[in-house]
Amino acid sequence: MMKKTDGEKNKFSLWLLAWPIFIEQFLQFLLGSVDTLMVSKISDNAVAVVGFSNQLFNALMTLFATVASGAGIVIAQKIGSRKDEEARTVAIIAFKVTTWIGVFLSILLIAIPAPIAIMLQMPEELLPLAKIYISIVGGGMILTAMMSVLGTAIRNTGNTKGPMMIAVGMNIVHIILNYCFIFGAFGFPQWGLTGVAISTVTSRLLATVVLFLMFLGAFERKMGMKDFSIFDRKLFKEILTIGWPLGVNSGSWVFSQLAIFSFLAILGSSELAARTYMSTLESFCFLLGFSLALAAQIQIAHLYGAGKIKEAYKAVYRVLAIGLPLVIVNAFILVLFGGNVLSLFTKDQEILTICASLLWMNLLLQPGKMINMALGNSLNAVGDTRYTMIVSLIFMWLIATGCSYLYGVHLGWGIIAIYACMIIDEYIRGVLSFVRWRGRKYLRMKETELERESTIFTESFASPSN
């Protein structure tokens, strides 16, 4: 038993959880940048369509992220409290529910891609490309749903290496197919953005198959096909109790970003393309910080489930001590060299001028994001998801979205004002999350629960009947 405990402790150490997530995210960023560079060879309009469409897909993903994210935290907590069978059942339930949501979204995006793009204020000149891209990539939303829940479940068992390897393989396949379809290499047809969409769906299909095979053996007792008939209402309620505020929180962020992209579309195609290019570059700044924050969520959920309250409380401060200096240094490097990198993507001087200003603003944005990620994920890990949801709903829409429209569009201050509103929003939510974590509400509740269980056990053991 002691060996199992030590092994599990090492398995859930911050470093062992974080480094595969970092490598996965870094390679995805690197290959994603190559992907954007390839698409830019088609046109800046193609880049704008991909960026805009991805915001739409991210918004719709919140519908199944509600279940996947909630299940991930519950799985880590159950494993921490030695309830492995319940963790396994949670994973199965989450997979089934998420898959059905993915089926619905795929049908919707295949059926009405053009009306959706028009509703989101897609510039008219981008509509022909958007219709093709949204219908093909959106039609594969079922694959995205399955990948989300499978990867989340596997990571929260402590295995972050498996999803890392699969994600790397998926992105390599995607880049190779992109090259073939964009440039007509090796006898492939030169299909432009249509080929990029087909490449995306094909690589995700292969990744989903491999993730599913890994998922079957992810828990102590291997899954069989008969196990997928399992449904436990009590455990599903646990998933939703933690998951629905996470879904609303995630949805709040994604839909606010989608609204901001709509504001940028009103400003013009150059602003929309600039934001898309900046999104790619910004990812570089917080890759390791994000990896640490995600690893901390898994670790803290496990420690919380195991009743190790003090260790859980301190974990977030270790993440901030490492993550904040990293994102600041990375953002400064981007200020120095970002212009040179951007020139590889586009030669449009208007877009480059816009991005030059945004690079300096990114130096202020990234520390706020790091604080938010670390503290928000830690609050979610202990089940305090309603608080992060309420804070997100209020400030994302009041500051990041409402003020972006007021100052950026209505008053005509443009994309600089929109970025300033995004920065203010990140810091407000970060400070509020810090105050909440310092209050230790859910950690104290767990301590009280453990003391009560210990008292009951002691009294039961000491009773005369025993």
CA nearest 376: which of 333, 334, 425, 433? 433
CA 393 to mean position of chain CA atoms = 18
Dmax (CA) of the chain? 85
How far apart CA 361 and CA 358 sit, in angstroms, is 5
**HSE-up of residue 451 (Cα within 13 Å, Cβ side):** 7
Residue 299, both tokens: 């670790």
- Per-residue pLDDT at 6: 52
Burial degree of 137 (CB within 10 A; 0-12, 13-18, 19+): buried
What pLDDT sits at residue 42? 81
> How many Cα atoms occupy the beta-carbon half-sphere of 215 within 13 Å?
27
Please tell me the predicted confidence (pLDDT) of residue 330: 87
Residue at token pair 């030590």 = 6
Task: Report the amino acid identity of residue 281.
Answer: L
pLDDT at 43: 80
- pTM exceeds 0.85 for this model: no
Q: For residue 222, give the DSSP letter.
A: -
Distance between CA 285 and CA 199 in Å, rounded? Answer: 27
List, as one string, the DSSP characters of 245-261.
HHHHHHHHHHHHHHHHH
CB of 76 closer than 8 Å to CB of 306: no
CB atoms within 10 A of CB 142: 22
pLDDT in tens, the chain (466 residues): 334 455 555 666 777 888 888 887 777 666 666 666 777 778 878 877 887 787 788 778 877 877 888 899 999 999 988 889 999 999 999 999 999 999 999 999 999 888 888 887 777 888 888 888 889 988 999 999 999 999 999 998 888 889 889 988 888 898 899 889 888 888 888 888 888 889 989 999 999 999 999 999 999 889 988 888 888 889 999 898 888 898 888 778 877 877 887 888 888 878 878 887 887 777 777 777 888 888 888 899 889 988 889 998 999 998 899 889 988 998 898 888 888 888 877 778 888 888 888 899 989 999 999 999 999 999 999 989 999 999 999 999 999 999 999 999 899 898 899 999 999 999 999 999 999 999 998 888 888 877 776 676 566 655 555 4
The DSSP 8-state label assigned to residue 307 in this structure reads T
- pLDDT of 118: 85
pLDDT value of residue 21: 81
Q: How far apart are CA 201 and CA 138, in angstroms?
A: 9
Tokens standing for residue 414: 């443009």
Helix axis angle, 269-285 relative to 14-40, nearest 10°?
A: 150
Tokens 């949204």 correspond to 134
pLDDT score for 48: 79
